[in-house]
Amino acid sequence: MNSFSRQRRLTATALTALAVAVAATACSSGSGSSDTKGAGTYTVWDPYPQFGKGSAWVNLLDQCGTKAGVKVKRTGFDTSDLGNKALLAAQQGNSPDVLVVDNPVVSTLAEAGVLTTADENKLDTSKVDPNLLAAGQSGGKTYGTPIGANTLALYYNKKVLKEAGVDIASVKDWKSLTEALAKVKKAGKKGITFSAIGTEEGSFQFLPWFWGAGAKLTELDSSQAVSALSLWKDWLKNGYAPNSVLNNTQTTSWQEFASGDYAFSENGTWQLAGAKKAGLDYGVLPIPGANGGNAAAPVGGEFVTIPVHKDTGRYATAQKLATCLTSTDNLYNTDATLSYVAPTGEVKAKQVAANAELKPWVDAVKAAKGRTSDELGTKYPRISEQMWKAVQSALSGSKAPKDALSAAQSAVK
């Protein structure tokens, strides 16, 4: 594809779609430049500005560069900025050689003509779990390969549950979870905290319940979707969840749980260090489906991709770098650094063998689903926006769950 045709495809639609915010670990702002690359220097952009020189991540980038016989120039950007910067760089014909980008953004960049396919650059994705790989697929093609995944589950406070007479083994579906919350409230403790804020974070946290009811993103007003929103609404009405969920981010929700007063918190792998720091006696439970089993929670995490370049001679080395970053040998340490579950069965088994606490997270990731899967691609941001608006309307009491979701579906159409 020539530069001009690629530029024409970088439309306002693509820019709008990049309003998808990542519901994952918060990163500090990064800075960097996109200087013209020399023949022996290859650029890598990533969303990990929290890792500086000397960190395990930056050391790995340097090692992969040395192995490929080149120097790596790395820039870490804030996650929310990286997609737009990648689009701008593509417009200017100055894309990085390797781009590590949040998985919901992959389909947007792919549809805008910014990324090459895994087939084009012979990236081996054969060992990657299909449900994780789907987050980076669009139009039947795969763009890059995941470096790792995180997702949501329920943290629970063992002390609070014990005082309320709740056996965690009894919590297997929505009915038994709600019964547990009732016991916790009766014991004078607080039930469950989560994030229902009017942003992508709110949609991210609602999706396990939405999918756990059997609902589809193409039918926001289905009876299954209404049952999921009614569950949350009833929890607030009965005092099992606080009204603060309307404004909670995942961080403030976690702070509520870390106080030690709540029985449950819906949150992600990125809070594991915080759980240990808070000194809580906690456990982790995959979010249950309405009628049992593990609900599909949304996949967080990034893909290692290779952007389109006019100079196709750079692809061979870019492929070596991408392959090195996602190799079996390197994934274990990298995913430990990023608090991720590995995208391949072999490395996941190694993670659980080293740390049994990761088992429920591995189970949750196994059931997880990409937000842009099912060929939603750039349609997802619009759907998500109407979803979080419906959640806000229902939980605030301005609309009944059914009416809120009907309005959301009409707006999407």
Mean pLDDT of 9-37: 41
291-346 pLDDT, tens digit each:
999 999 999 999 999 999 999 999 999 999 999 999 999 999 999 888 899 999 99
Residue type, 24: A
399-411 pLDDT, tens digit each:
999 999 999 999 9
For the record, the structure tokens of 54 come out as 């000397």
- Give the other-Cβ count within 10 Å of 217's Cβ: 22
CA distance 198 to 248: 9
DSSP state of 38: P
Can you point out the beta strands (E) in 85-149? 98-102, 137-138, 141-142, 145-146
The answer to whether the CB of 341 falls within 8 A of the CB of 150 is yes
CA distance 114 to 97: 11
Domain ranges of the chain: 3-150+300-367, 152-297+376-412
What confidence score (pLDDT) does residue 4 get?
Answer: 27
CATH superfamily to which 3-150+300-367 belongs: Periplasmic binding protein-like II (3.40.190.10)
Residues 6 or more apart whose Cβ sits within 8 Å of residue 95: 86, 89, 114, 307, 308, 309
Confidence tier at 29 by pLDDT (50, 70, 90): very low
Nearest to 131 by CA among 392, 371, 412, 316: 371
CATH number of 152-297+376-412: 3.40.190.10
Its pTM stands at 0.84
CA distance 328 to 361: 19
CA distance 206 to 184: 22
By DSSP bridging, strand 152-157 and strand 282-285 are antiparallel
Residue type, 29: S
User: Is residue 13 predicted with pLDDT exceeding 50?
Assistant: no
For the record, the structure tokens of 411 come out as 């707006």
Confidence tier at 38 by pLDDT (50, 70, 90): low
CA distance 75 to 86: 12
Nearest to 104 by CA among 25, 19, 27: 19
Residues 6 or more apart whose Cβ sits within 8 Å of residue 341: 148, 149, 150, 151, 269, 335, 348, 351, 358, 361, 362, 365
How far the first Cα of the chain sits from its last, in Å, is 33
CA distance 292 to 267: 20
The residue whose two tokens read 């910067």 is 85
Confidence tier at 129 by pLDDT (50, 70, 90): very high
What is the widest separation between alpha-carbon atoms in the chain? 68
Mean pLDDT of 40-44: 96
- Give the other-Cβ count within 10 Å of 12's Cβ: 7
CA distance 312 to 302: 24
Residues 6 or more apart whose Cβ sits within 8 Å of residue 93: 3, 310
User: Is residue 3 predicted with pLDDT exceeding 50?
Assistant: no
- Give the other-Cβ count within 10 Å of 2's Cβ: 7
CA distance 366 to 48: 24
CA distance 59 to 49: 14
Q: What is the CA radius of gyration of the chain?
A: 21
User: Is residue 8 predicted with pLDDT exceeding 80?
Assistant: no
What confidence score (pLDDT) does residue 220 get?
Answer: 98
CA distance 381 to 107: 11
Q: Do domains 3-150+300-367 and 152-297+376-412 have the same CATH topology?
A: yes
Mean pLDDT of 63-87: 94
What confidence score (pLDDT) does residue 185 get?
Answer: 98
Mean per-residue pLDDT of the chain: 90
- Give the other-Cβ count within 10 Å of 28's Cβ: 8
Residues 6 or more apart whose Cβ sits within 8 Å of residue 69: 317
Confidence tier at 36 by pLDDT (50, 70, 90): very low
CA distance 164 to 182: 9
CA distance 64 to 197: 40
| Segment (H or E) for 44 | strand 41-46
245-271 pLDDT, tens digit each:
999 999 999 999 999 999 999 999 989
